[in-house]
Amino acid sequence: MLTDPEHIKLADRPLVVCDVDDVVLQFATPFEAFLTGRDLRLLPRSFKLTGNIVDAAETVLDALAVRNLIHDFFVEQERWQTPFAEAVDSLHGLASEADLVFLTAMPPRHAEVRRRLLDRLTLSYPMISSEDPKGPIVARLHGGRSLPVAFVDDMLGNLSSVGAHVPESALVYLPPDVAIFRFAPEPQAPVLRARDWLEARQLIEAHFRS
Ligand SMILES: [Mg+2]
């Protein structure tokens, strides 16, 4: 169910689709702390995890080892992941006039733990857990309604996927303030960059009224 948009019924009002990792819940910062606990560390040399995680002897971990670490982190996510400043209040504020849906790209086997964590944070909005491209999922959700739609993510690839499939959507880029994001590409119009949740909320509300 958590992997399928069909379980979500939208009301007759605007829609906000929002990524979770490194947008609502911190990922990069607690993941680095998780690595430290295993005598590993992240050397931010490019915009990816694979190839930049090393052990105590500075040997680079291979892709399978990195995938297993991310899996273990997500199993324990309730111990590690906390929301960004203003994220919870901003989402509650937006939800007073819009339907909110979380679209999280984590492997679906971790969806139940994520659901529980979001509920505990009073973020009981519908969630889709899928590793498929985000554009077609948002297009299916929105279904070409003549109501405003906005999408928030920290990955430009996801923003351009949604832009290609739902061109009327506001595209809000909200990168976390962490070292590895210094290597992320710069967003291009029509993608809007937000410094924090207060600005993201303003951009979305301005789009609703435009
Ligand atoms: Mg993310």
pLDDT in tens, 154-200: 999 999 999 999 999 999 999 999 989 999 999 999 999 999 999 99
Q: How many Å lie between the centroid of ligand 1 and the Cα of residue 22?
A: 5
pLDDT band at 3 (very low <50, low <70, confident <90, very high): low
Question: 27 to each of 56, 167, 205, how far by Cα in Å?
Answer: 22, 28, 26
Q: How far is the CA of 154 from the centre of ligand 1 (A)?
A: 5
Q: What CATH homologous superfamily does 5-26+82-209 map to?
A: HAD superfamily/HAD-like (3.40.50.1000)
Residue 65's pLDDT band (cuts 50, 70, 90) = very high
The CA angle 95-96-99, to the nearest 5 degrees, is 40
Residue 5 has a pLDDT of 73
Cα(60) to ligand 1 centroid in Å equals 24
Q: How far is CA 197 from the centre of its chain?
A: 13
27 alpha carbon to ligand 1 midpoint, in Å? Answer: 8
Distance, CA 55 to ligand 1 centroid (Å)? 25
User: How many angstroms is it from 108 CA to the middle of ligand 1?
Assistant: 15
User: What pLDDT sits at residue 6?
Assistant: 76
Q: Residue 168 has what pLDDT?
A: 97
* 74-98: pLDDT as tens digits: 999 999 999 999 999 999 999 999 9
Question: Quick count: other Cβ atoms within 10 Å of Cβ 199?
Answer: 16
Mean pLDDT of 49-69: 95
**Dist. CA 97 → ligand 1 center (Å):** 24
Over 80: is that where the pLDDT of 51 sits? yes
- Listed by start position, the domains of the chain span 5-26+82-209, 28-80
Q: What would the pLDDT profile of 90-121 be if each residue is shown by its tens digit?
A: 999 999 999 999 999 988 889 999 999 999 99
Residue 20: CB atoms within 10 Å: 24
Comparing C-alpha atoms, which of 103, 42, 101, 46 is closest to residue 70? 42
Residues 6+ apart with CB under 8 A from 13: 97, 98, 99, 147
Calculate how far, in angstroms, residue 37's C-alpha sits from the geometric centre of ligand 1: 23
Residues forming beta bridges with residue 149, ordered by sequence position: 15
Give residue 153 CA to ligand 1 midpoint distance, Å: 6
